[in-house]
Amino acid sequence: MKYQPPYKINSKIIHLIAEISEALGLLTVLAQIQDELKLRKANRIRTIQGSLAIEGNTLSEEQITAILNGKPVIAPPKEIQEVRNAIKAYEQFQQWQPASEQDLLKAHQVLMAGLIDEVGQYRQGGVGVMSGDQVVHLAPPPSQVVRLMNDLLQWLEQSDEHPLITSSVFHYELEFIHPFSDGNGRMGRLWQTLILTKWKPIFANIPVEILIYQNQRAYYDALQARTNQTDSAPFIEFILQMIFDAIQSSSTTDQVTVHDTDQATVQDDDHVQRLISVMEHREYNLTELMSLLGLSHRSTFQQNYLNPAIEAGLIERTIPDKHKSPKQRYRLKRM
């Protein structure tokens, strides 16, 4: 292997990898429930909104949802185009291979269509990263981009490092090389998600980008720290912390608003997940279910736990046409 990106694995990075792996185990158990509760689309919307907001796009989750559903939105045409491109890219991205240059260029073409002239190709001119009126990073000259990207993609294909590390290093190196005339930030975040999704498919539904947006200053500081230290460990630490926080957030959300074609809303998702997790494949009466959760107030249990689970199709009644029957029992819905 010719190229080796400069980074060191420290104890904090190892600790974060262990924490992420443990949290992923819990989240994977909840994944089927989350799919049933229509959270996949909501998380994809958060991912798109977060990644584009970092680049200055002002559209809200509600506006992105409307565009996704084919409804008109009053907003700057450029921002609407950015959203449409991102929706298309995130719908296709699992078909691409992380180490394929052809797929990388195809992704850029999809993501930047109608926004710049040089879509799906490496830049032909010099470029710098600005902070206010100061240049904080001068990218390598365009004559070096093809070689640098070939080295990086070859390293990605051959590396035996943990995917959490390779994805973070690739994200940083792409930003350092800045191979495109525009769209490098959103490409770096998209490609890290792709690398992680090839490792664990559940990453396709974890909106890490929204947390990066919420910590945007720290994101840029972490990128700059590597430039100053010739070691991307600060960036790896930052990104792993964002991934861990996103997993934790996805696992413990108390209320999730989900927009589908009917603008449906599923609330108290945490309550539903808690109820499902304690039930076995047998029938229960109301008192038994409340006892499993340590609850004593019947109407609260029905309103916050049982009814949402039934409406989501996760629990079913044994006597569906007589809701108040004294012989009524409840069981996990048979798939």
Fill in the amino acid letter for 41.
K
Beta bridge partner(s), residue 129: 137
**Where exactly are the structural domains of the chain?**
11-252, 269-332
Q: Is the dihedral of CA 51, 36, 91, 170 positive or negative?
A: positive
Beta bridge partner(s), residue 298: none
The catalytically annotated residue of 178, 271, 281, 297 is: 178
Mean pLDDT of 91-100: 94
Task: Pull the structure tokens for residue 59.
Answer: 């559209």
Mean pLDDT of 122-139: 77
* pLDDT, greater one: 263 or 302: 302
Residue 226 has pLDDT above 60, yes or no: no
Residue 230 has pLDDT above 80, yes or no: no
Note if the pTM is more than 0.85. no
Q: Are 153 and 101 in contact (CB under 8 A)?
A: yes
Residue 329 has pLDDT above 70, yes or no: yes
130 is in an annotated binding site: yes
Q: Is the dihedral of CA 175, 181, 187, 191 positive or negative?
A: negative
| Least confident segment among 118-127, 267-276, 284-293 | 267-276
Q: Are 179 and 143 in contact (CB under 8 A)?
A: no
Domains 11-252 and 269-332 share a fold: no
Please give the sequence-ordered ranges of beta strands (E in DSSP) within the chain, or none if there are none: 128-131, 134-138, 315-317, 330-332
189 is in an annotated binding site: yes
Listing DSSP states for 234-277 in one string gives: HHHHHHHHHHHHHHHHHHH-S-B----TT---B--HHHHHHHHH
Residue 121 has pLDDT above 50, yes or no: yes
Listing DSSP states for 16-65 in one string gives: HHHHHHHHHHHHHHHHHHHHHTTHHHHHHHHHHHHHHHHTT----HHHHH
Q: Are 42 and 257 in contact (CB under 8 A)?
A: yes
219 is in an annotated binding site: yes
Phi and psi at 137, nearest 5°, equal -155, 125
Phi and psi at 256, nearest 5°, equal -125, 125
Q: Is-catalytic flag, 271?
A: no
Q: How many CB atoms lie within 10 A of CB 285?
A: 14
Q: Which residues of 54-67 are buried (b: 16+ CB within 10 A; e: fewer)?
A: beebebebebbbbb
Determine whether domain 11-252 maps to CATH 1.10.3290.10. Answer: yes
304 is in an annotated binding site: no
Mean pLDDT of 1-26: 86
pLDDT band of residue 265 (cuts 50, 70, 90) is very low
Q: Given this model, what pLDDT does residue 314 score?
A: 87
Residue-wise pLDDT tens digits, 30-81:
665 555 555 677 888 989 999 999 999 999 999 999 998 888 899 999 999 9
What architecture is the 269-332 domain classified under in CATH?
Answer: Orthogonal Bundle (1.10)
Q: Are 258 and 264 in contact (CB under 8 A)?
A: yes
Helix axes 11-36, 233-252, angle to 10 degrees: 30
Look over the chain and give the mean of its residue pLDDT values, rounded to a whole number.
85
What's the CA angle centered on 257, arms 254 and 259, to 5 degrees?
A: 155
25 is in an annotated binding site: no
Q: Given this model, what pLDDT does residue 80 score?
A: 96
Task: Pull the structure tokens for residue 28.
Answer: 């994977």
Residue-wise pLDDT tens digits, 135-179:
667 889 999 999 999 999 999 999 999 999 999 999 999 999 999
pLDDT band of residue 252 (cuts 50, 70, 90) is low
